[in-house]
A and B are shown apart, each in its own frame.
Chain A
Amino acid sequence: MEKNVLLIEDEPNIIEAISFILSRDGWSVATHSNGHDAVGVVQTQLPDLVILDVMLPGKSGYDILRELREGDQTRSLPVLMLTARGQVKDREMAERAGASRFMTKPFSNAEVLEVVRELVTE
């Protein structure tokens, strides 16, 4: 059965790249590109995995994640956080907010695939 991945990211080129990689591996990819209604979209779609950017227009990835972790249905949803800010404190903030995994941009495509598979199998 095809697994659903929701990608929340505002850079069109990165959306295109990740969509391509995951689709090619057999995932069903939905995308969303702003922070305002991201929580609602996740709760409606209830995907198998969320890939979440930190710097989103409207609401930051951390805030979105915190809200997801408060909701019953999304409490233990696997969430892979992506950020272009590679400092230690960014990783710490992601962990505190409840990220399942955390990756710094730029990433290798193989790595993304591996982590996505890992998170969904768990």
Chain B
Amino acid sequence: MATFNVLVAVCLIYVAFLFVVAFAAERAAIRGRSNWLRSPLIYTLSLSIYCTAWTFYGAVGYAARSGLEYLTIYLGPSLVMVGWWWILRKLVRIGRSQRVTSIADLISSRYGKSNLLAIGVTILAVIGTTPYIALQLQSVTVSFSVFSDAYDVNSHVQSHESNALLIAAGLALFTIVFGTRNLDANERHHGVVMAIAVEAVVKLFALLAVGAFVVWGLGGGVSDILNRIDSSEIGDWEMRGDRWAGLIFLSAAAFLCLPRMFQVMVVENEDEGHLRTAAWAFPAYLMLISLFVVPIAVVGLDLLPAGSNPDFFVLTIPLATGNDGLAMLSFIGGFSSATSMVIVAALALSTMVSNHIVMPIWLSASGGGASVSGDVRHVVLLSRRISIAGVVTLGYLYYRLSGGGTALASIGLISFAGVAQFLPVLLGGIFWRGATRLGAFAGLTVGFVIWAYALLLPSFGTGVFISESVMAQGPLGLSWLRPQAFFGIDGMDPLVHAILWSISLNALAFFVASLIGFPSPLERLQGAQFVNVYEHSSTPQSWSGSLAQSEDLMVMAQRILGAREAQRLFEREARRQGVSGLLPEPSPDFLQVLERELAGSVGAATAHAMIGQIVGGASVSVEDLMAVADETAQMMEYSSQLEAQSDELSRTARQLRQANEKLTRISEQKDAFLSQISHELRTPMTSIRAFSEILRDSEKLSEDDKIKYSSIIHNEAIRLTRLLDDLLDLSVLENGQVTLNVQTGQLAAILDHALAAALTGNGSERLHVTRHRTQEHIALTTDLDRLSQVFINLIGNAQKYCDADYPSLTIDVGVHEGALVVDFVDNGTGISKDDQAVIFEKFSRVGEQRANGAGLGLAICREIMSRLGGDIAYLPGQGGGAFRVTLPETRVTLAS
């Protein structure tokens, strides 16, 4: 007969067996013969800590109460494994590249290595997980009492509470022994993983054995059981769509967010490839473990007296039918489920508590990483151990507080809904670069407040935390804030209600606050590394330091990693840098590696803070930010667009500048021109005014003077008229408004006409003109009047300015390179080289004499020749003043 004492003995033997398994696995891992430990099978089995005592005992109870709804709890994770494996792969990759130690570490690391956020997540994880640990304690305690009730009447003196306390203490001890045996840099626990893999097999085997016994031992095989299901209440059970959808979502979210699932799935993961196997193997495991749930429930309801707790049918059916051995196996299965969950949960939570709460406090209290004396590893281990004890104690307290009477499934769901609040922040963090720390805080706070108010606090029963009046009328009479009917939406299932509002408002707050806030440089850097984890083979640098700090870093690393491990790391890095000696230079690369190693032991935020204390200074350089900016193709594209725009802008600016310069030049030219015109007009007007006043005011003028002064007025008036004519002529020519009167004529005739027109008035006979008439038999087709105007001007200039004692002008005609060339050469001193450059400009009168021209003649000549398609130029080196007029061949026909 199985007595209570036997049961205790069996438990102890089983635990001892687990110790041996875990120990052997550790030994094998240390010796490097751990290939079989790192198989995908072990990984898949370790994931089965998802199936806790809730599954083992509670699923049957769930089915007995709510029919097939229990399946939702397994459908969620199966969907994740099959359909969302890419999320898991990304999580695993990030976990590996960032040396993440827990979900709190991951979230804090993503949002700028914020320790405050890590503390928040840790506290929330502890609050969320505590009911779950309580659930395990409750199930183990009750399973003990089921046995003692059945066989050992005397054991009634042994209260549930003391049982629970003993069990809690035992679990804490096991976790401490195997979870904190040493401080592994990558936070993997081969021993623990192996032990829970064994437990996974044991619980599956136990449940299958009970199921097989129920189907084939008690029932009449499959068909009989199916008939019995149809005729039972479970068969009549009605499916509720909202609860199904809500629960599938909830279990999927919890599967990703539960700290213990994160521990086995991400932290303990040896190889990303294992996910491929787990993607089908784990859903298969879930299917097997839930296979006999309904048969057991149906048979239990039939067989056992009404009012029996269906949560423990798995145990009570074998006991009631006298199958002690099977009952014992079932008990061990349930025990396995509970212990594996508590161990891993305690391990995961203690890592978080220790890394994010205890260590930072201890570090700041003891004055920082570098100045600490002694081996920090002992402190870390001690803080972990205390944290484990603390976590398990909390679970025990919750169990005592909640009275242990609640159905297992509802406790589990409360816990699920709590940790599911991490989902928006987690997914947002790895898929959305815009997610910020502010958003994370906002989302988590909103989510957890609603969860606590709408689900957790009411779970203790009306009147414990939330009074009856608040439940019915809302706090302070605000009916829209009733815990189970937000915004007056009544009639919703309380669980679905809580999930809906907490997750959606959580996500909304996260999203809105992320959009409002601006991420810090470190957040952006981390965000880029997380979201683009696949593109980052190497990560951007975030530290820089001086050589003098290497020793401090070494001292600190030894304390955390252990002297040997730290030395190995430093030597390896020094070798890699090609530095002689043992100390590598604190290059950004090295500091990155060191931070990762330390993060494996104390978490990202703490490691970052410790290195920051030694290296100091800004942790993110401009180059890093540039690297972040350059990372995504989108950014690059955007940047190249900006560059193109910038190029275009500078091109436009250059054009504008050139246009402006041109306008300024034109404006200056215009000013100078006006100023010149003013001068040219005012000068003759001055004479006219002065002499006309003299004529008017003087009575005693001689007749000769009167004539002389009148002549001056007359000449100046003519000069003024000519000036205006020239100006208008030039203006017309320059604007291109001139109409050419093209005719055909003889060059000789044109020259005759020009000479006759130019050589009139006083002194005209002084100029001797030499021509070669034989050259001049050339027919021209052009504006003959205009060409004549040019000739008149040139002849007039020679007459006015030739300074020789016997001035003479030679007109020479020739055909040069197919063009007609007419040269006018006088025997004066000519025009100096400097003046040659300006004679064709307007108002350019050169030399001393400056006879009464306005300086427009040559400018007009140039414009005319340009209109006629020819040219006029000064011909240097001819002895005197020399001008060459050129007309293109097309306008010239040689006379026959």
Interface residues, chain A, CB within 8 Å of chain B? 10-11, 13-14, 16-18, 20-21, 24, 34, 55, 57-58, 84-87, 104-110
- Contact between A108 and B693, CB atoms less than 8 A apart: yes
Tell me which residues across on chain A come within 8 A of B859, comparing CB atoms. Answer: none
- Find chain B residues with CB under 8 A from A57 CB: 848, 850
| B residues 676-690 in Cβ contact with A at 8 Å | 678-690
Judge whether B144 is part of the interface by a CB distance below 8 angstroms. Answer: no
The interface residues of chain B lying within 8 Å CB-to-CB of A110 are: 693
Is the Cβ of A84 less than 8 Å from the Cβ of B678? yes
Tell me whether B675 is interfacial, beta carbon within 8 Å.
Answer: yes
Complex contacts, B698 vs chain A, CB 8 Å: 24
With A20-B694, A21-B694 in contact, is A14–B686 under 8 Å at CB? Answer: yes
B712 at the interface (CB under 8 A from A): yes
Residues of B within 8 A of A55 (CB): 679
| Contact assessment for A14 and B687 in the assembled complex, using a CB-CB cutoff below 8 Å | yes
Give per-residue flags for B151-194: 1 if the beta carbon is below 8 A from chain A beta carbons, else 0.
00000000000000000000000000000000000000000000
Q: List the A side residues contacting B687 at CB < 8 Å.
A: 11, 13-14, 17
Q: A14-B690, A85-B675 are in contact. List 6 more A-B contacts (CB 8 A).
A: A11-B686, A13-B684, A13-B687, A17-B694, A57-B850, A84-B686
**Inter-chain contact A13/B678, CB cutoff 8 Å:** no
Q: Which of B681, B684, B689, B690 has the most CB of A within 10 A?
A: B690
Closest 6 CB pairs of A and B: A17-B690, A84-B682, A13-B687, A106-B686, A105-B686, A106-B689
User: A-facing mask of B296-334, CB < 8 A → 1, else 0?
Assistant: 000000000000000000000000000000000000000
B716 at the interface (CB under 8 A from A): yes
The residue on B at minimum CB distance from A36 is: B848
- Asked if B691 is an interface residue, CB under 8 A from chain A, the answer is yes
Residue of B whose beta carbon sits closest to that of A13: B687
Chain A residue at minimum C-beta to C-beta distance from B681? A84
Residue of B with least CB distance to A58: B848
Candidates B683, B684, B693; contact of A109 at CB < 8 Å: B693
Contact A86 B690 (CB under 8 A): no
Interface of A is mostly: loop
Partner of B675, one of A14, A87, A105: A87
12 cross-chain CB contacts under 8 A: A10-B850, A14-B687, A14-B690, A17-B686, A17-B691, A18-B690, A84-B678, A84-B680, A106-B682, A106-B686, A108-B693, A109-B693
Is B704 on the interface with A (CB-CB < 8 A)? no
Interface residues on B, range: 20 to 34
A86 neighbours in B (Cβ, 8 Å): 678, 682
Which of A17, A18, A21 neighbours the largest number of chain B CB atoms within 10 Å of its CB?
Answer: A17
State in angstroms the CA–CA spacing of A87 and B698 once bound together.
32
Q: Are B712 and A13 in contact (CB under 8 A)?
A: yes
Contact call A84/B693, Cβ cutoff below 8 A: no
Q: In the assembled complex, which residues on chain B have CB atoms less than 8 Å from the CB atom of A58?
A: 848
Give A110's nearest chain B residue, CB to CB. B693
**What 1/0 flags go to B663-679 for Cβ under 8 Å of A?**
00000000000010011
Please give, as numbers and ranges, the residues of chain A lying within 8 Å of B697 by CB-CB distance: 109
> Is there an interface contact between A34 and B848, defined as CB atoms closer than 8 Å?
yes
List residues of chain B with CB within 8 A of the CB of A24.
698
Complex-state Cα separation, A40 to B641, whole angstroms: 70
| Closest Cβ–Cβ distance, residue A16 to chain B (whole Å) | 7
* CB-nearest residue of chain B to A15: B687
Report the minimal beta-carbon distance from A106 to chain B, rounded to whole angstroms.
4
Closest to B690 in A: A17
The CA of A25 and the CA of B140, in the complex, are separated in Å by 138
Contact B689 A107 (CB under 8 A): yes
Q: Is the pair A13, B716 in contact by a Cβ cutoff of 8 Å?
A: yes
A13 neighbours in B (Cβ, 8 Å): 684, 687, 691, 712, 716
B contact residues around A85 at 8 Å (CB): 675, 678-679, 682
Q: Given the complex of chains A and B, what is the CA–CA distance between A34 and B691 in angstroms? A: 23
Question: Using Cβ atoms and an 8 Å threshold, which residues of chain A touch B682?
Answer: 84-86, 104-106
Closest residue on chain B to residue A112 by CB atoms:
B690
Q: A24 to B697, alpha carbons, bound, how many Å?
A: 12
Q: Which residue of B lies closest to A109 (CB)?
A: B693
Neighbouring A residues of B688 by C-beta, 8 Å: 106
Residues of A within 8 A of B693 (CB): 108-110
Tell whether A11 pairs with B683 under 8 Å between CB atoms, given A106-B688, A106-B689, A108-B693.
yes
Q: In the complex, which residue of chain B has the Cβ closest to the Cβ of A86? A: B678
Q: What's the Cα separation between A51 and B685 when bound, in Å?
A: 19
Bound-state Cα–Cα, A105 to B716, Å: 14
**Bound Cα distance from A104 to B689, whole angstroms:** 13
Closest A residue to B680 by beta carbon equals A84
Q: Is the CB of A84 within 8 A of B850?
A: no
The interface residues of chain A lying within 8 Å CB-to-CB of B683 are 11, 14, 84, 105
On chain A, the residues within 8 Å of B684 by CB distance are 13
Residues of the B chain whose Cβ atoms lie less than 8 Å from the Cβ of A84: 678-683, 686
Q: Roughly how many angstroms separate A106 CA and B693 CA in the complex, as a whole number?
A: 12
List chain B residues, Cβ under 8 A from A11.
683, 686-687
Residues of B within 8 A of A14 (CB): 683, 686-687, 690
A55 to B681 CA separation, bound complex (whole angstroms): 14
Per the 8 Å Cβ criterion, residues 590-632 of B in contact with A are none
| Cα A55 to Cα B686 with chains together (Å) | 14
> Which residues of the partner chain B approach A20 to less than 8 Å between Cβ atoms?
694
B residues near A105, Cβ cutoff 8 Å: 682-683, 685-686
Are A107's CB and B694's CB within 8 A?
Answer: no
Whether A108 contacts B679 by the Cβ 8 Å rule is no
CA distance A45 to B650 in the complex (A): 63
CA distance A24 to B680 in the complex (A): 28
Report the separation of the CA atoms of residues A122 and B222 in the bound assembly, to the nearest whole angstrom: 139
Distance in angstroms from B783 CB to nearest chain A CB is 35
Question: B694 contacts which chain A residues (CB < 8 A)?
Answer: 17, 20-21, 109
- Across-interface contacts of B681 in A (CB, < 8 A): 84
Q: Hey, which chain B residues are within 8 Å of A16, CB to CB? A: 712
CB of B682, distance to nearest CB on chain A (Å):
4
Q: Across the two chains, which residue of chain A brings its CB closest to B696?
A: A109
Cα–Cα distance between A78 and B832 once the two chains are bound (Å): 37
Of all chain B residues, the one with the shortest Cβ separation from A17 is: B690
Contacts of A10 in B (CB 8 A): 850
Complex Cα gap A10–B686 (Å): 13
A107 to B694, CA, bound (A): 12
Look across to chain B and name the residue whose beta carbon is closest to the beta carbon of A104. Answer: B682
CA distance A14 to B694 in the complex (A): 12
A86 CB → nearest B CB, Å: 6
- The closest CB in chain A to the CB of B712 belongs to A13
Most chain B CB within a 10 A radius of its CB, from A34, A58, A105: A105
In the bound complex, what is the Cα–Cα distance between A21 and B680 (angstroms)? Answer: 23
Residue of A nearest to B689 (CB): A106
Which of chain B's residues have a CB closer than 8 A to the CB of A21? 690, 694
Q: Which residues of chain B from 708 to 724 have any CB-CB distance to chain A below 8 Å in the complex? A: 712, 716
Q: How far is the CA of A109 from the CA of B147 in the complex (A)?
A: 141
> Which of A34, A58, A107 has the most chain B CB atoms inside 10 A of its CB?
A107
CA separation between A108 and B697, bound complex, in Å? 12
CA distance A57 to B687 in the complex (A): 19
Cα separation A101 to B293 with both chains bound (whole Å): 120
Instruction: Give the residues from 569 to 596 in chain B that come closer than 8 angstroms, CB to CB, to chain A.
Output: none
Q: Which of B822-866 contact A (CB under 8 A)?
A: 848, 850
> What residues of chain B lie closer than 8 Å to A18, measured between beta carbons?
690
